[in-house]
Structure 1
């Protein structure tokens, strides 16, 4: 039976030998992210920064893509529109700009006039509300808690399935992946909203799955090659699982790239951080999580005594 291989069967890449270069790259990315977070911060979207909500019942069935483009042309900042409730109901969210004046009523009225001028004053505006900054702050806290709880659950799972050294390396890789996605939102002018949190959690799930496959092969080889030098054993395990890692990442990225290029603006903005996250997760599984095992006194089992075999005398 023939199998699809994107990597030659006899590949022998010295991943462990490259660890200082890859550690340096990861350190530079983390440092750049922390600097930009401290100096520039994140470009929070409507969900975190606050804004205005309009629940409108239109006189006819809405053309969402067309309305989305017209809202974007108003220059109100980030806007979002989606169907809500009945067939002709839409929910519109408009960003509350940080540089707006202190007159809340005047700012809100400006946005209301712009939206009504676009949709028409004869529509049924069933709800118009302002999302305050406290709601955004609470959402930020809850989102961070969700990410931390997910990392803690993965730490417990890996520690239970493997040794604690594997758990530590896996969590370091996941923290690296999280910071890598934050780099995308802090260095580049992308809006940090609820899709960013979803992208972080998806990346963490994908990355830890990839890492566990490699860890499982390392553990298997630890039992099989008890006298092999640890660095060589890690290299062997990484090369043996490389075809699977590349194939999985390639098929996943192919689907995501199709969504990014052909899925429209909303789906594209959701797909981009996941695409970057998949690449970062694959990098950390190979070049970060596994080589770090060299520094955590991983038990090899060489001293385990062989079972005695009783020999009967004739």
Structure 2
């Protein structure tokens, strides 16, 4: 049975919903900002190895009780390899101090070894943050050029605005809930751009074909038909991807937790924007059949005698 969901009937409600999410995101980013991790703010990273498994929460509690600030503890590789991040300024004996604190919190037969001790400077963090922002903007610019060349300028504007919508709301949620923003999250945002673009192009391709074939239908009917034709593919792709990401989110460990969180949020928002944001913007820009018809090629008349 052919599906006939009237997506465009709810386009104004979707615009209000998106507008509220964008306002909340921009407001939180302006007031609270992002909770940048040590990759951006600078700090100390230490890797220690236990002989036996030591609970991560006990390690974190011991370090915080010793006066260390902004401590993040996570397993690294195996359950006995522990990665410690803190905002403490680096000094020569810091590794030995942390080792003594952790040894005091562990049992006598659970020895541990300091494998490495590194410092990430604030200047390096600022450079990473600036380059990451430029990478996002460059990705959006390349997308706009590609979609304009493949489809039409109105499709390009709609696709880029949908991607901007997805990235900004994902950043806003990280700001609202103060989830840690590190380099893995930045990588996830770039992946979200690619994933959301793929969905948007599938829908745009169907819209273009429908405009050329459904000559007696109005734009709203054409949009609805295109969205219904691609709905199964969009939902199934998103559903299977989110299932994998949820597995990474809950059992993948702290090292990729933020990455999985950013991708999960981005794909859910991206699926919504592929259905509503891009198509609604095309209607606002008054896309017509003439915009999508291939240019007629004039035949040259041979007037030689």
TM-score > 0.5, shorter chain as reference: yes
Deviations 1:175-204 (A, max 9, x none): 000011112210003111112111211111
For residues 198 and 187 of structure 2, the distance between their equivalents in structure 1, rounded to whole angstroms, comes to 17
Structure 1 residue 249 corresponds to structure 2 residue 238: yes
Partners of 1:51 and 1:94 within 8 A in 2 = yes
Deviations 1:153-178 (A, max 9, x none): 11111111100110100000000000
Report how far residue 16 of structure 1 moved.
Answer: 1.3
Bigger drift between 123-132 and 186-195 goes to 123-132
Q: Does 1:206 align with 2:190?
A: no
1:26 aligned residue (8, 18, 30): 18
Are positions 1:114 and 2:105 aligned together? no
Does the Cα contact within 8 Å between 2:249 and 2:260 map onto a contact in 1?
yes
Mapping 1:1-314, distance limit 5 Å: 9-54=1-46, 66=54, 68-73=56-61, 74-75=63-64, 76=68, 77-79=70-72, 92-96=83-87, 113-118=97-102, 128-301=117-290
Secondary structure of the corresponding residue to residue 287 of structure 2 = coil
Shift of 1:256: 1.4
The CA RMSD over aligned residues, in Å, is 3.2
Equivalents in 2 of 1:93, 1:47: separation in Å? Answer: 13
Change (3 A) 1:78 1:196: farther
Number of residue pairs matched by the alignment:
284
2:40–2:129 contact (8 Å) kept in structure 1: yes
* TM-score with structure 2 setting the length: 0.81
CA–CA separation in structure 1 for the residues paired with 2:253 and 2:294: 59
TM-score (norm 1): 0.79
